[in-house]
Structure 1
Amino acid sequence: MFYSASYCSPLGKITLASQQNQLVGLWIEGQKYFGAIVTANIIEKANLPVFNLTKKWLDNYFAGKNQTINQLPLAPNGSPFRQKVWDILCNIPYGEVITYGDIAKQIALQTNQPNMSSQAVGGAVGHNPISIIIPCHRVIGANGNLTGYAGGIDKKIKLLQIEGVDTRNFVLPKKGTAL
């Protein structure tokens, strides 16, 4: 059984999803792949402990406080490859960014492969079902290219700015699916 709750954020409405007292989804309204992992009927139940904890975490985050991920019972559903990528995302420090290529190199080392596709990493990052908390917004393209945020580039920039990242030298994509 899946449950949902809404949260009003500075980025707009956010939908939270849980299963068995674990957070399985967090989507910004209009986000690509919104709710893709929730395959069953979802029941609105706003006052579950997991939602109260997540809302408090989000309140603190949007107030500019560095929150640790291990405070929340996260259970993102995805392939073993996606899980590896999301684990790396969870270790990106607050207020810092890394590239898709950096993640690809880490995955290649973990899996004892000579290399890994940055595009494959981008697909896993883009399908992160618990955005903001699993900080996919901290991943940028090569040379400071602000590409690839399912919630929209404007929201990615806002999240980075909340964390104190100087975004002035990043490059906005002129076209493509990241806009």
Structure 2
Amino acid sequence: MAADPVGAHSLVMPSPIGRLELLARDEHLVAIGFDAAPDGTPGTLRGASPVLVEARRQLVEYFAGRLRVFDLPLRPRGTDFQHRVWDLLATVPWGTTTTYGAIADRLGLPPGASRAVGAANGANPLPVVLPCHRVVGSDGTLTGYAGGLERKALLLRLENVATEADQGALF
């Protein structure tokens, strides 16, 4: 993900889940990309953007365990259905999980719609801030995460949520 020269700004930051590239347009955070390109030096701000500085501050606080709720102006690009799913993601509290099926139920969707919810979850352009890592399979297993299951597990452990790998380590 690279900054769009027309009205977009980006910032690369280190994090416990790898280099993140934050992208803003019109004073809204629009995307967070994993595995930022090596040419993006951490801390380099391309274009003046107070929202990127604030997003970085809040992410640093989140990764340090001091922030549980993000308060940022967001404008992710997606379909109406994706936005409905993402709006529900924003309501999943820190340190808890939900399932794809539970989100489908909350949206009033028919049985079997959990796959559509999973696809919308996977298209989330604002991982961590819109906590798609808090969505697990119906049996509690970690499934699907655009950043990879290792990142998902790390984020859940950061929030003190035991994963099945953690459970296995107990026995």
TM-score scaled by length of structure 2: 0.83
Q: Distance in 2 between matches of 1:138 and 1:46?
A: 32
Given that 1:100 and 1:121 are in contact with CA atoms closer than 8 Å, whether structure 2 keeps it comes out as yes
CA distance in 1, matches of 2:20, 2:119: 22
The Cα offsets for residues 117-147 of structure 1, whole Å up to 9 and x where unpaired, read as: 1110000000000000000000001111211
Aligned to 1:5: 11
Cα distance, 1:66 vs. partner?
3.2
Letter of the 1:133 counterpart? V
> What is the distance in 2 between the residues matched to 1:55 and 1:100?
29
CA shift, 1:65, in A, is: 1.9
Give 1:169 shift.
6.2
**Is residue 2:16 matched to residue 1:20?**
no
> In 2, distance between residues paired with 1:51 and 1:135?
18
Q: 1:127 aligns with which of 123, 128, 132?
A: 123
Spell out, residue by residue over 1:11-62, the C-alpha distance to the aligned partner (whole angstroms, 9 max, x if none): 11001001001000012117xxxxxxxxxxxxx6165201110011011000
- SS of 1:119 mapped into structure 2: helix
- In the alignment, structure 1 residue 81 sits paired with structure 2 residue 77: no
Q: Which position in structure 1 is the counterpart of 2:40?
A: none
Paired-residue identity, %: 39
| Regions of 4+ moved over 3 Å | 113-116, 168-172
**Aligned pairs for 1:111-122 within 5 A:** 114-115=110-111, 117-122=113-118
Paired residue total: 154
The gaps in structure 1 that reach 5 residues or longer are: 31-43, 173-179
What secondary structure does 2:142 align onto? Answer: coil
**2:97 paired with 1:97:** yes
Q: Is the 8 A contact 1:144 1:171 kept in 2?
A: no
Say what the alpha-carbon RMSD is for the aligned residues: 2.0
Q: CA deviation at 1:10?
A: 1.1
Please state whether the residue corresponding to 1:25 is helix, strand or coil: strand
In structure 1, the partner of 2:55 is 54
8 Å contact from structure 2 (residues 89, 132) kept in 1: yes
Deviation of 1:106 (Å): 0.8
- Where structure 2 has 5 or more consecutive residues not aligned to the other structure, the ranges are 1-6, 37-44
